Amino acid sequence: MDKILVLDFGGQYNQLIARRVRSEQVYAEIKPYNGISVEEIRKNGYKGVIFTGGPNSVYEEASPHYDATILDLGIPILGICYGDQLMAYMAGGEIASAENGSEYGKTTVFTADDILFEGIPQESICWMSHTDYVKTLPEGFTTIARTEKCPCAAMCDRSRNLYGVQFHPEVTHTVYGKQMLHNFIFSVCRCRADWKMDNFIETLVERYKKELEGKKVLLALSGGVDSSVAAVLLHKAIGKNLTCVFVDHGLLRKDEGDFVEKTFGKQFGMNLIRVNAEDRFLSKLEGVTEPEKKRKIIGEEFIRVFEDEAKKLGKIHVLVQGTIYPDVIESGKGDSAVIKSHHNVGGLPDVISFEQIVEPLRDLFKDEVRETGTKLGIPHELVWRQPFPGPGLAVRVIGEITKEKLELLREADAIFREEIANAGLENSTNQYFAVLTDLRSVGVMGDARTYGYTVALRAVTTDDFMTAEWTRLPYEVLEKASGRITNEIKGITRVVYDITSKPPATVEWE
Ligand code: XMP
What's the gap in Å between 508 CA and the centre of ligand 1?
A: 6
Residue 386 above 60 pLDDT? yes
Secondary element (H or E) of residue 87: helix 82-90
For ligand 1, atom 18: residue with the closest CA: 389
Among 61, 167, 52, which residue's Cα sits nearest to residue 117? 167
pLDDT digits (tens, 9 = 90+) for 407-437: 999 999 999 999 999 999 998 999 999 999 9
What's the gap in Å between 419 CA and the centre of ligand 1?
A: 23
pLDDT band at 354 (very low <50, low <70, confident <90, very high): confident
Q: Which positions are annotated as active-site residues? A: 81, 168, 170
So what's the pLDDT on residue 328? 65
pLDDT band at 331 (very low <50, low <70, confident <90, very high): low
So what's the pLDDT on residue 185? 98
pLDDT band at 475 (very low <50, low <70, confident <90, very high): very high
Which residues lie closer than 8 Å to 239 by C-beta, 6 or more apart?
none
Residue 334 above 50 pLDDT? no
Q: What are phi and psi of 11, to 5 degrees?
A: -80, 165
Domains annotated on the chain, with CATH: 3-188 (3.40.50.880), 197-383 (3.40.50.620), 396-497 (3.30.300.10)
Distance from C-alpha of 507 to C-alpha of 424, rounded to nearest angstrom: 22
DSSP letter assigned to residue 393 = G
Distance from C-alpha of 468 to C-alpha of 226, rounded to nearest angstrom: 19
Q: Which atom in ligand 1 lies closest to the alpha carbon of residue 505?
A: 5
What's the gap in Å between 156 CA and the centre of ligand 1?
A: 38
Write a three-state SS string for 124-158.
Answer: EEEEEEECEEEEECCCCCEEEEECCCCCCCEEEEH
So what's the pLDDT on residue 194? 87
Given ligand 1 and candidates 221, 293, 465, which is best to mutate, with the most ligand atoms within 8 Å of its CB?
Answer: 465
Among 4, 12, 5, which residue's Cα sits nearest to residue 334? 12
pLDDT digits (tens, 9 = 90+) for 91-110: 999 999 987 778 889 999 99
What's the gap in Å between 447 CA and the centre of ligand 1?
A: 42
So what's the pLDDT on residue 495? 98
Comparing 115-124, 327-336, 393-402, 449-458, the range with the smallest average pLDDT is: 327-336
Residue 509 above 90 pLDDT? yes
Residue 263 above 90 pLDDT? no
Asked if 489 and 408 count as a contact pair (C-beta separation under 8 A), the reply is: yes
Residue 250 three-state SS: coil
Which residues lie closer than 8 Å to 11 by C-beta, 6 or more apart?
52, 53, 54, 55, 80, 81, 82, 336
Asked if 176 and 116 count as a contact pair (C-beta separation under 8 A), the reply is: no
Which residues lie closer than 8 Å to 425 by C-beta, 6 or more apart?
473, 474, 477
Residue 178 above 80 pLDDT? yes
pLDDT digits (tens, 9 = 90+) for 19-43: 899 999 998 988 889 989 999 999 9
What's the gap in Å between 312 CA and the centre of ligand 1?
A: 31
For ligand 1, atom 14: residue with the closest CA: 389
So what's the pLDDT on residue 446? 87
Residue 333 above 90 pLDDT? no
Asked if 212 and 241 count as a contact pair (C-beta separation under 8 A), the reply is: yes
For ligand 1, atom 24: residue with the closest CA: 387
Residue 49 three-state SS: strand
Which residues line the pocket of ligand 1, CB cutoff 6 A? Answer: 295, 327, 330, 340, 342-344, 387, 389-391, 431, 465, 502, 506-508
Beta partners for residue 201, in sequence order: none
pLDDT digits (tens, 9 = 90+) for 191-243: 999 888 888 898 899 999 999 999 999 998 888 889 999 999 999 999 999 99
So what's the pLDDT on residue 197? 80
Distance from C-alpha of 218 to C-alpha of 209, rounded to nearest angstrom: 15
In this structure, the strands spanning 132-136 and 94-97 are antiparallel
Residue 330 above 80 pLDDT? no
Distance from C-alpha of 102 to C-alpha of 181, rounded to nearest angstrom: 24
What is the mean pLDDT of the segment spanning 270-294?
Answer: 96
